[in-house]
Amino acid sequence: MFCLSELEDTVRVPPDLLKLPLEVAIKKVLQKLFLDKVLSIGLCVSIYDIKSAEGGFVLPGDGAPTYKVVFIIVVFRPFVGEVIAARFKESDSNGLRLTLGFFEDIYVPAPLIPRPNRCEPDPCNRNQMRWVWIFEEQEYIIDDSYQINFRVENISYPPVPTERAEDGAIDDDGLGPVSWWEGCSERNNEDDDT
């Protein structure tokens, strides 16, 4: 789910931060520049370490020194095929939307929800649709009562790099709300005993 990436960038440290130790000041500027932004390598979550900072030259007409910084950041970059535990956020007729707290653009399109299923208007929330999985004549509702395990199918970066969307699948064994499988595996064990 998370990766370390090494980057090099030219960083301008505003004069009001110069009273702090250099490493702290550079880290503050890097956090403002990179944190919570989706780069081509993923969603930047944290500055891990600053490997080196060179330069410190003040360009003419500017009051702030500029450093060439080599640093390592922690990025959230899932790979296709990874299984991640998420929470239910909302659902509509196109599918579900899941969230990880720090990343909210996980979509499970309708074809990837376990079949047979049906979609009905949610009795608790008029604007939303609720998905229900029908298995062996029992109905399982997909809602926010438990964690949902999903497998990453596709990652897409929109042209304007503000958010990034992921497509997930929950139509395979072991995926979907965790409670389904805990209940199911208990049932299977009973069957084996008899």
Q: Which residues bind another protein (CB under 8 A)?
A: 1-8, 31, 35-36, 41, 45-46, 48, 72, 74, 76, 79, 81-85, 87, 100-102, 144-147, 149, 151, 172-175, 181, 184-185
Beta bridge partners of 66: 12, 57
Stretch (H or E) spanning 32: helix 22-34
Return the number of the residue (58 or 80) whose C-beta is nearest another protein. Answer: 80
Of the candidates 132, 128, 108, the residue with the CA atom closest to the CA atom of residue 118: 132
Shortest Å, Cβ 17 to another protein: 14
Return the number of the residue (28 or 64) whose C-beta is nearest another protein. Answer: 28
Return the number of the residue (102 or 190) whose C-beta is nearest another protein. Answer: 102
Distance CA 151, CA 92 (A): 20
Return the number of the residue (36 or 62) whose C-beta is nearest another protein. Answer: 36
C-alpha distances out from residue 108 to 124, 150, 169, 172, 174, Å: 21, 9, 6, 13, 16
Shortest Å, Cβ 74 to another protein: 6
Return the number of the residue (6 or 139) whose C-beta is nearest another protein. Answer: 6
Shortest Å, Cβ 64 to another protein: 22
Of the candidates 180, 186, 181, the residue with the CA atom closest to the CA atom of residue 132: 180
Shortest Å, Cβ 31 to another protein: 6
Shortest Å, Cβ 130 to another protein: 14
- Please say whether the beta carbons of 110 and 121 come within 8 A: no
- Please say whether the beta carbons of 174 and 114 come within 8 A: no
Distance CA 26, CA 93 (A): 46
